[in-house]
Copies of this chain bind each other. A is one copy, B any other.
Amino acid sequence: MKHKTIDDIALEAGVSKATVSRVISHPEIVSQRTQERVRAVMDKYSYTPSLLAQGLAGSPTKTIGVIIDELSNFFFIEIAEGIDRILSPSGYSMLLSSSRWIEEREIQLVRSLISNRVQGVLIAPISENSSAIQLLKEAGIPFVVINSIPKDPSISFVCCDNHEGGRIAAQYLNTYPSEQTIVITGFAHQSIEHRLEGFFNTIDTPDSIIRYSQIKTQEEGYNLAPELIKRNQIDRKKTTLFITNDNVAIGIINRLVEEGIQIPEQVSILGYDNIRISELCRIPLTTINQSITQTGELAAQSLLKLLKKQDSVYHHLIHPSLIQRESTVHIPQ
């Protein structure tokens, strides 16, 4: 007897080829009657689909849920890249999604991951007390928090020491020649608050510092620049900007270059994060390095250990460091 193909099965059962395929791979979307008719024909000829059969013989990929805050932010993409570097050689896939800084969405995503029976979760939570963390804990799913230090010490995390990063920034600016210093921040997130605490506890003249907040994206940085010129006369007073997010710093730099302002001679810029493009951008950015890809790698490694030994707890506080590039005048450290 000639080996039957999927076309033969479809023909004899009076259905399309796609329907035969669905009976094999997604029977739940095929009506009971059709399923029975197709299966009867398949059984009659002991039909085994070729490539597909091999596929179904494989075990499902082990999946890890990964929740980041923004997919369009290089910081989080580099974290995801670090995670993938560790997970994928270990045979895990990432179920990657972004909360877009919306708390309701974050908890909804965690629920979905639980329902999808992921083996573990890596989450960069919106807040260190996020209900999403509580839910993961209650569900007994191994998880590691990234980019926050949870209040609950039984929760594993990988985070850069943001207090120390803020201190390093302030120590640098304490020796830096300027007529005015402006601090520009974005989201009200623990990581930013800690940077500011470290910074304002260390800077020599905290009261004279001008502050802008809620500047979150490259575009918002780009659009802020004219206001800095108009309101703070950064085109005339020697100014240093400490921007707690490289993405925003790059937006500001681009606009200042367009406006013909000399960097670093007139305006000096210190960023924070050391995302990959901070080295590649128009004026390579002086910034605080927080080893982003390694953060992702370490978080994934910790999670893989947790999967083997659920009672362990891993706390990793990564040390930041200053990287001087061309957006500031070089000061020997």
Q: Which residues of A are at the interface with B, using a C-beta cutoff of 8 A?
A: 6, 17-22, 24-26, 49-52, 54-56, 58-61, 63, 71-72, 77, 80-81, 84, 88, 93-98, 108-117, 131, 134-135, 138-141, 250, 254, 277, 280-282, 284, 310-311
Contact = CB atoms under 8 A, between A and B. Distances in A.
Contact of A61 (B55, B71, B115, B280): B115
A61 to B, nearest CB: 3
Given A52-B138, A96-B96, A281-B282, A115 B81 contact: no
Contacts of A98: 84, 88
B139 A55 contact: yes
Contacts of A250: 280
Task: Give how many copies assemble into the complex.
Answer: 2
B281 A138 contact: no
A97 B111 contact: no
A143 to B, nearest CB: 12
A111 B24 CA distance: 13
A54 B19 CA distance: 35
Given A26-B140, A61-B113, A84-B97, 14 more contacts: A20-B140, A21-B139, A24-B139, A25-B114, A25-B140, A55-B110, A55-B111, A58-B108, A71-B81, A72-B81, A94-B97, A277-B277, A280-B280, A280-B282
